[in-house]
Amino acid sequence: MKLSKRITLIVGGGNGLGRAVALACAQQGATVIVADLNLAAAKETLALAAPGKGHGLALALDIAQPAAVKAAVQAVVEQFGRLDILVNCAAICLVDPLHELTPERFDRVFSINARGAFFVMQAAAQAMMPNKFGRIITISTPASKLSVPLFATYGASKAAVDSLSKSAALAWAPHGITVNTIAPGRMTGGMVDALDRDLAKVTGQNLDELIASRTKTLPMGRRVEPSEVAQAVIWLASDEAAYVTGERFNFTGGQELQ
Ligand SMILES: NC(=O)c1ccc[n+]([C@@H]2O[C@H](COP(=O)([O-])OP(=O)(O)OC[C@H]3O[C@@H](n4cnc5c(N)ncnc54)[C@H](O)[C@@H]3O)[C@@H](O)[C@H]2O)c1
């Protein structure tokens, strides 16, 4: 077991990649704390990850609220004694033609994807520092390096995650904390389903045709399963990756080579 007894907080663990990460971490012996805006979904993930084991925790959390983030991390430390691993999967993606983008929708994306992601990292690092051990894994996207005119706030907010993660890696290396980022390719389920629907609406394209054409352009001709991406999280959180920090790993099936 690669994460035996590691106290692991998975933010955005109610669905998609976060849920797959929670399941994979539990399989590797971790105690999982699942935090999500949607408490019912977080509870469902916990029940799937640790069925009948009576440990772990599900928390309601909005990462756009830094005080709530701090309180959630404190609750974890109070109940479990420490925090070893943070995986932040929470994010949103809004579709907006750039000429119509409003300050409110800009701020909504940035308050979760960039500002929220940072304050989750910061609260976790503060909890990890006394133990001189921590693994922080943030989630980016190929879009952080591409031109994505219809969801530019998403790409830009994730570029902020790339940058903040690199700075945090250097700042917290002396404290025994590693910070790495995974950029998954287009995954099955999760936010891409909603994104495809919104793109079809804004462009007037037929949804099935849009999905087929967006999948055909992927080098491997398929979307990636969240459970595949979760294995990269396991490795980065494990002792095997103790000397790896400040990296951004593509898990994209070669998408960025095109
Ligand atoms: N789906 C993809 O193809 C894809 C590709 C590249 C990167 N990503 C990234 O992977 C991560 C997971 O994506 P997914 O498809 O599993 O998403 P998802 O929408 O299925 O899950 C995201 C989870 O985050 C939660 N969440 C949203 N806002 C929150 C907030 N303010 N506070 C706390 N929780 C909140 C949601 O309730 C949901 O359970 C995201 O960071 C996303 O940007 C996804």
pLDDT in tens, 183-232: 999 999 999 999 999 999 999 999 999 999 999 999 999 999 999 999 99
Report pLDDT for 248: 98
Report pLDDT for 222: 96
Q: What is the DSSP string of 118-157?
A: HHHHHHHHHHHGGGT-EEEEEE--GGGGS--GGGHHHHHH
Q: Are 70 and 123 in contact (CB under 8 A)?
A: yes
Residues with CB under 6 A from ligand 1: 12, 14-18, 36-38, 41, 61-64, 89-92, 112, 116, 139, 141, 184, 186-187, 190-192
- Give domain status of residue 219, yes or no: no
Q: Rounded to 5 degrees, what are φ and ψ at 196?
A: -60, -45
Q: Which of 191, 211, 215 has the most ligand 1 atoms within 8 A of CB, as the residue to mutate? A: 191
- Give domain status of residue 195, yes or no: no
Interval between CA 208 and ligand 1 midpoint (Å):
23
Is pLDDT of 53 > 90?
no
Interval between CA 53 and ligand 1 midpoint (Å):
26
Q: Which of 9, 36, 137, 165 has the most ligand 1 atoms within 8 A of CB, as the residue to mutate? A: 36
pLDDT band at 87 (very low <50, low <70, confident <90, very high): very high
The CATH number that applies at residue 105 is 3.40.50.720
**Residue 109, C-beta contacts closer than 8 angstroms, at least 6 positions apart:** 92, 93, 94, 153, 154, 157
* Averaged pLDDT for residues 104-118: 98
- Give domain status of residue 28, yes or no: yes
Q: Mean pLDDT in the chain?
A: 97
- Give domain status of residue 204, yes or no: no
Report pLDDT for 28: 97
Contacts 24+ apart (CB under 8 A), 245-248: 245/169, 245/173, 245/178, 245/179, 245/180, 246/165, 246/166, 246/169, 246/170, 246/179, 246/180, 247/180, 247/181, 248/140, 248/162, 248/165, 248/166, 248/180, 248/181, 248/182, 248/183
Half-sphere exposure at residue 134, Cβ-oriented, CA atoms within 13 angstroms:
31
Q: Ligand 1: which atom is nearest the Cα of residue 90?
A: 24
- Give domain status of residue 220, yes or no: no
| CA–CA dist 223, 256 (Å, integer) | 14
Q: Ligand 1: which atom is nearest the Cα of residue 190?
A: 20
Predicted confidence (pLDDT) per residue in 122-132, tens digit: 999 999 999 99
Report pLDDT for 51: 83
Report pLDDT for 54: 73
Is pLDDT of 50 > 90?
no
| CA–CA dist 137, 162 (Å, integer) | 11
Q: Count up the domains in the chain and report the number.
A: 1
* Averaged pLDDT for residues 138-164: 98
Q: Ligand 1: which atom is nearest the Cα of residue 187?
A: 3
Q: Which of 19, 70, 86, 89 has the most ligand 1 atoms within 8 A of CB, as the residue to mutate? A: 89
Half-sphere exposure at residue 52, Cβ-oriented, CA atoms within 13 angstroms:
0
Is pLDDT of 145 > 80?
yes
Domain ranges, residue 83:
7-188+225-253
Residue type, 38: N
Q: Active-site residue among 119, 151, 154, 249?
A: 154
Q: Rounded to 5 degrees, what are φ and ψ at 136?
A: -115, 125
What is the DSSP pairing of strand 248-251 with strand 85-88? unpaired
Catalytic, 154? Answer yes
- Give domain status of residue 1, yes or no: no
